[in-house]
A and B are shown apart, each in its own frame.
Chain A
Amino acid sequence: MAQRLDRINRLLDGITRNRREITTPEGVVLEVDIANHGERLVAFLIDFLFWMLATALLFLILGLTVIHGVSGSVTITIVLFLSFLLRNLYFIHFELQSQGATPGKRIVNLKVIDRSGGPLLPGAIIARNLTREVEIFLPLGLFFAVPKFGAGAEFWTAASYFGWAVALSALPFFNRDHLRAGDLIAGTMVISVPRRALLADLADSESRYVFTHKQLDAYGAFELQVLEELLRRPPSPDTWTMQQQVCDKICRKIGWADPVPPAEALSFLRAFYTAERAHLEREQEFGRYRADKNAAAGS
């Protein structure tokens, strides 16, 4: 299954997604797309922005009410402590509350899931988010806390903190599931869940064209689904030209005798799609799945 759909995705989008299979407790195998580095970065930056805004807002309120008149060092301490608390609660709260998705992840359509397909437990969420402290915030905080980057010991301290942050942030690039250290520890991974709509069925119930078995044997499931994508394209001059070309190609391939006028191309294609799908599905029911035009029927 994975290869079948993958091939069409490659053809249509020009991208190969990193796919994994997880098995639900019901025994249904689901394919999931591993999230890209870019998507994860964008989601993180959005969350980071929200966290900054929330922190800023909190301090605005504190500044207007409580802190007034307290010394600078006290303020800084309160700021550091509350922002530490706020960001951990932010990530843990949203991943617990909305099924493994922080607001940033929800915008980018990402989700945290258990790697083995089991339920996502609170322990895993807490673990993966606490590890974020070690991975990113702690070394970066230390890096910025080092007073000057002159020379000697301080330079090397700063460099080692920075190196640590870089090494751990680079971890997702070095494993095939793009896991960061927190995912390793918690047994989770981040996947992309694009939302899809259920579109109208393309199959017509009645057809003006009749095709023979031999003609329908010309193609397999791959071609059928590419044709489906073509028929689902929004109408435009471009689509129209493509439909004419495909129509001509199919007529040549199956030896269709009557010429199909350009105005009829779309209805011919739909009729062919319906007939071809009916044919292939019937064959599939008898265990003769045909992957594409090059595959022998019955394999």
Chain B
Amino acid sequence: MPATSPAPAATVTLRSAEFRRSREVAWRTLDNLVSRVERKGLSRLSAEELRELPLLYRTAASSLSVARSIALDRNLILYLEGLVLRAFFVVYGPRTGIMEALAGFLKRGFPAAVRKAGWHILLATLAIAAGVIIGFMLVLPNENWFSVLVPETMAGGRGPASTAEQLRRTEIFAPWPGFVESFVVFASFLFRNNATVGIMTFGLGFFGGVPTLLLLGYQGVMLGAFFALHHNRGLLYDFIGWVSIHGVTEIGALILCGAGGLVIAEKVLFPGRYGRLDSLALAGKAAAGLAGGAVLMLFVAGIIEGGLRQLIASTPWRLAIGAATGLLWMAYFHSCGRREGHGPAA
């Protein structure tokens, strides 16, 4: 202190300053740990530090409560609020890696979401079934309906003008086009195409579910139109075999996407005893799980459709594989993840 300045006239004791002096070391340690986790991840901490982290977090949280009631130092309170918030994210943040999360989703989350969405799945199935019947009934007596109902890209040259022989040769028992062409190009094209339809079906649930049902119905109508066309050529049995090998998986995925959309729609329209947003958040994860799982199913369907279907040129075998995939999916949805896990449901 310079000699010119007068002697101190008063000594001030601040409880908040005392409080800060006694706790500051712990805050700085926590700040240090949290900063390191934020930069490099939890795995970089030593076992000792990991044990310390939640304790320091709770100390800081109680410091914040005390500071709010006794201190008027704005910087101190803001700092503690930020620190506790950051530590909160670290302590309560996700602890799983991406592979673990995906495995948990396949083992528990997806089948559980499917089991919970019973009537939504039923409704989506009925929408498709109704579409199939309508499409079949329309095209059966008058094949001109076919080109009205089925867009050019989906028809792929098939239509009222196709003969039975053409359909048999270029479609149902078309030759194997080779590995790259079938698995890389065709399967991927089918996957992207189907995933687009599926995700749309799901996303349209936001608009109250009616567009979802219409889109599902329309997919059914197209299928029904194909059935009728092949029925008129006497190829219905072979066509069902051709569709079933991948169709069981593909249509199943579409139904699940639709069911996800209907779950969303239900929560938007009838939020129940929670607010609309809360009820959407509660059901939304399961609904998105349905759609996400369905996209994985479509991936499988794309591989079967792009490759396997062309390799197996026998209708009974195709039907058998179709039925087997159906049984496998059923068994998976029915029995996987029944046991309650302790970890967070993915």
Contact = CB atoms under 8 A, between A and B. Distances in A.
Contact of A28 (B65, B109, B191, B287): B65
Interface in B220-261: none
B75 interface: yes
A204 B346 CA distance: 53
A130 B296 CA distance: 12
Contacts of A199: 75, 79
Decide if the interface of chain A is mainly helix, strand, loop or mixed. helix
Contact of A207 (B8, B38, B74, B285): B8
The bracket for how many chain B residues form the interface is 35 or more
B94 A125 contact: yes
Contacts of B92: 24-25, 118-120
B285 A277 contact: no
Contacts of B277: 115, 179, 184
Interface in A17-61: 24-26, 28, 30-32
Contacts of B73: 201-203, 228, 277
B38 A185 contact: no
B292 A130 contact: yes
B97 A96 contact: yes
A195 B78 contact: no
A97 B82 contact: no
Contacts of B31: 198
A193 B196 contact: no
A196 to B, nearest CB: 5
Given A26-B58, A126-B346, A8 B94 contact: no
Contacts of A113: 89
A181 B74 contact: no
B27 interface: yes
Contact of B86 (A119, A120, A193, A228): A193
A182 to B, nearest CB: 8
B41 to A, nearest CB: 6
A185 B280 contact: yes
A205 interface: yes
B189 interface: yes
B168 interface: no
A80 B79 contact: no
Given A122-B346, A208-B5, A208-B9, A284 B72 contact: yes
B14 A203 contact: yes
Contact of B188 (A70, A81, A209, A275): A81
Contact of A96 (B12, B98, B203): B98
A207 B11 CA distance: 6
B157 interface: no
Contact of A134 (B5, B7, B41, B203): B203
Interface in B268-310: 277-278, 280-282, 284-285, 287-289, 291-292, 295
A31 B11 contact: no
B281 A115 contact: yes
B158 interface: no
Given A26-B58, A134-B199, A203-B14, A186 B98 contact: no
B94 A207 contact: no
Contact of B12 (A84, A128, A184, A206): A206
A280 interface: yes
B292 A206 contact: no
Interface in A120-153: 120-128, 130-131, 133-135, 138, 142
A194 interface: yes
Nearest to B31: A198
A122 B292 CA distance: 13
A172 interface: no
Nearest to B88: A24
Interface string B67-89: 01111111111110110111011
Given A122-B94, A123-B345, A124-B285, A193 B82 contact: yes
Contacts of A115: 277, 281
Contact of B284 (A31, A120, A186, A225): A186
B6 interface: yes
Interface string A70-99: 100110011011001000010011011111
B64 interface: yes
Nearest to A32: B85
A64 interface: no
Contacts of B7: 208
B105 interface: yes
A203 B12 CA distance: 9
Contacts of A178: none
Contacts of B325: none
A174 to B, nearest CB: 12
Given A31-B81, A134-B199, A196-B79, 4 more contacts: A122-B94, A123-B109, A208-B6, A277-B73
Interface of A: 1, 5, 8, 24-26, 28, 30-32, 70, 73-74, 77-78, 80-81, 84, 89, 92-93, 95-100, 106, 111, 113, 115-116, 118-128, 130-131, 133-135, 138, 142, 179, 181, 184-187, 193-199, 201-210, 221, 224-225, 228-229, 232, 274-275, 277-278, 280-282, 284-285
